[in-house]
Structure 1
Amino acid sequence: MNKAELLNWIIFAVCAVSALAVYSSYAKTADIIQPGRKNPVAFSPEQYGLAFETVEFTTADGIRLRGWFIPAPGGEAGRTVIFCHGWGSNRGEMLRDTHFLAEQGFNLLYFDFRASGESAGAISSVGYLEMRDFDAAYDFLKLNRPHAAEQV
């Protein structure tokens, strides 16, 4: 094998490895921004004997989000916790471990981020777009549950 052939093989190998790296990066990124949706939501406030309202609101960029508002047993005045589930999860997963806070006098707002649970959307940004989702949840409280929005 002469030097020209060897150089051609080296160039081919570098191009093949580079193409594989680009493809692997693309595939992993697609998995991150398009997580497998956990739907249906497996847990509900009804399972824990909690009074609740199913709520729906829209983000500034037009994505419809769904969730639950669970008022504190004594009424909505007081402290409110807005729950934000993790990537690849949904509001039901949070409810399972936090529902007891309603009995402690907290209003609870659970919602599914975009591309999660029962909310619309197909792409997760792992933070950037989800800030809009949280803002929409807080705006929902201020508009529809002003007493609950006083201490978030």
Structure 2
Amino acid sequence: MVRAATLFIPLFEAFSWFDAGLQTLMTEAGWAEVSRSQTMAMILVRQGCNRPAAIARALGISRQSASTIIADMIEAGIFAMEPDPGDKRAKIVTITPLGQKRANDARDAVFQLTAELERRIGRDNVANLWNALTANWGPPVESLRHVNRAGWKSSI
């Protein structure tokens, strides 16, 4: 059995592998490099998380930091801020046509990276990885009361 503490490392390394490959392929396609936070913000907005405060919460950063990321992406022509049709006092982040083109190119790059990963580690391993990562893990653990600690040893 793999210790839970060690699983976090390969999960992060796998994410970093995709992020580095995505940056490389996007740069080769003529797009300016963006930060990892900007990539994550784009993913969130495409998934419907479009209020600046919600983006900040999802990224685990301050509202000020999220506002900086959003402002940089607006300046780059990727995002726009528009009135929220459901709340006239609020604004939402939208993807511009240029941002949509970038997102489409990024999606194509991720398909290429997935094909390369299949070539490197095998189609069955990629399918198993997909199945494990898309399984219902339940809600995030919010307390040790919700953790089955059988066989668990703290290093603290």
Give the structure-2-normalised TM-score: 0.28
Higher strand share: 1
Higher relative contact order (CA 8 A, sep 6+): 1
Q: Indicate the structure (1 or 2) with the bigger Cα radius of gyration.
A: 1
Higher helix share: 2
Give the structure-1-normalised TM-score: 0.28
